[in-house]
Structures are given as structure tokens and as C-alpha cells.
């Protein structure tokens, strides 16, 4: 019985005092939230960059095809240009 009461007393002391102060806990949570926001912003920026890169690559490919067609039309006896 004493053992049970002792265990309960120890648990209640641990539960009420905590391991860190509420100020330390708040600062840690704030830091974690800032890091999450920074990661989300970086992820969004990367996604935007990927989309823009894809658009740019498609435009460059279309320009390459157009120039190859113009070159083939300007010099009909020359073999096809491949890249």
C-alpha cells in the first residue's frame, strides 16, 4: 500500500512540475512553427520554380522545332537537323 501511495505521489509531482518552464516550452513551439512555415514557403517556392522551368523548357523546345523547320525550308537539299 505504501508503495502505491509513493508511486502516486511521485507521479503527481512529476505531472505538476513538468520538465521545462512554460516560457521555454512556448519559445520551442514558436521556433518549431517558424521552421514549419519556412519549410512550407521553401516547398512552395520550389514548386513554383519547377512549374516555371517546365514552361520555359516547353517554350525552348517549340522554338528549337520552329528553327529546325525554318532551316530545313531554307536549305531543302540538306539532311534533317537533329538535336
The answer to whether position 38 is within a domain reads yes
Convert the pLDDT of each residue in 7-48 to its tens digit. Answer: 665 666 655 556 778 899 999 999 999 999 999 999 999 999
Q: Is residue 77 over pLDDT 80?
A: no
Looking at the domain assignment, is residue 5 inside a domain? Answer: no
Write out the residue range of the structural domain in which residue 45 sits.
28-75
pLDDT of the residue at 13: 62
CB 75 within 8 A of CB 81: no
Note whether residue 52 is domain-resident.
Answer: yes
Q: Please report whether residue 32 resides in a domain.
A: yes
pLDDT score for 19: 78
Domain count, the chain: 1
Buried b (16+ CB within 10 A) or exposed e, 8-31: eeeeeeeeeeeeeeeeeeeeeeee
Handedness of CA 52, 53, 57, 60 (dihedral sign): positive
Is residue 48 in a domain? yes
Please check whether residue 4 lies inside any domain of the structure.
no
Answer yes or no: is pLDDT of 59 > 80: yes
Amino acid at each position: 500500500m505504501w508503495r502505491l501511495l509513493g508511486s502516486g505521489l511521485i507521479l503527481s509531482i512529476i505531472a505538476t512540475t513538468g520538465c521545462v518552464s512554460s516560457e521555454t516550452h512556448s519559445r520551442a513551439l514558436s521556433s518549431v512553427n517558424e521552421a514549419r512555415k519556412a519549410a512550407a514557403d521553401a516547398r512552395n517556392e520550389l514548386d513554383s520554380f519547377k512549374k516555371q522551368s517546365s514552361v520555359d523548357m516547353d517554350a525552348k523546345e517549340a522554338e528549337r522545332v520552329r528553327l529546325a523547320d525554318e532551316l530545313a525550308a531554307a536549305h531543302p537539299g540538306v539532311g534533317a537537323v537533329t538535336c
